[in-house]
Amino acid sequence: MSLLETQALEAKHGLLKAVRGIDLSLAEGEKVALVGANGAGKTTLLRTIAGIHPASAGRVIFDGEDITAVAAHRRAGMGIALVPEGRRLFFSMSVADNLKVALSAGRAGRWNFESVLEALPQLKPKLKAAAGSLSGGQQQAVAIGRALMTNPRCLLLDEVSLGLSPLAVQGVYDSLATVAAAGTPLILVEQDLQRTFNVADRIICVLEGKVVASGRTDELTRDEVMDHYFGHRTPNTPAENA
């Protein structure tokens, strides 16, 4: 049984249907990447899974339980953690306090203040600094650390490399490798296809709010993913005719 499932999930922004009947699953220990152009519905999908954005139809199932109507803070307590696009830190608070605020989720597990700092060593010399004074890469590490402090059973990561320098991106992904090695299942939204192929077990291509292709990273090619990314190939178009 999958740890997380969405069944015919839909979500709207006003009259605009941003997520259109998406079926998705995530197994224990699995790493899934969502790829697609800006406006494809990826962020709305993650926010709907996390409970921050309401579903207009369909269901979200977590560990066999229908949580579609469950509030976001209760989903966090159940083990669903979102690292949002833009990080959303408390910029005037210290790095240490930004991490510790996540203790309100009240979940026990392998992740605590010390183990998070072991996974994110770049934060150790910055614990007393205001989060707003950090570089973009360091802020992203704080956002990931804050999510880990909730001891998530499922980690949702939205555009973790957006706006960062190549060196900062490498630092973030080095940290994610430690998280993945711990067996934490994750869903990653990422524009960098090379990193997507390096990190994910499975890729799901989203176009205009719908899943148009999915497959294991050892079964899909970059060209196939790019064709779906830009809508040059339909779900029923074979590769040789694309």
Span 123-168, pLDDT tens digits:
999 999 999 999 888 898 899 999 999 999 999 999 888 777 888 8
The model's pTM: 0.87
Instruction: Name the residue range of residue 34's domain.
Output: 4-241
Tokens of 197: 């192929």
Mean pLDDT calculated for residue range 62-75: 96
Domain harbouring 92, CATH code: 3.40.50.300
> Confidence class of residue 5 from pLDDT cuts 50, 70 and 90?
very high
State the DSSP H helix or E strand holding residue 155, giving kind and residue range, or none if neither. Answer: strand 154-158
> Confidence class of residue 231 from pLDDT cuts 50, 70 and 90?
low
Q: Is the pLDDT of residue 239 over 70?
A: no
The pLDDT assigned to 242 comes to: 32
Instruction: Output b/e per residue, 82-121; b: 16+ Cβ within 10 A.
Output: bbbbebebeeeebbbebbeebeebebeeebeeebbbebbe
Per-residue pLDDT tens over the stretch 85-103: 877 898 999 999 999 988 8
Q: Which residue shows structure tokens 């899909």?
A: 220
Count: domains in the chain: 1
Q: Is the pLDDT of residue 222 over 70?
A: yes
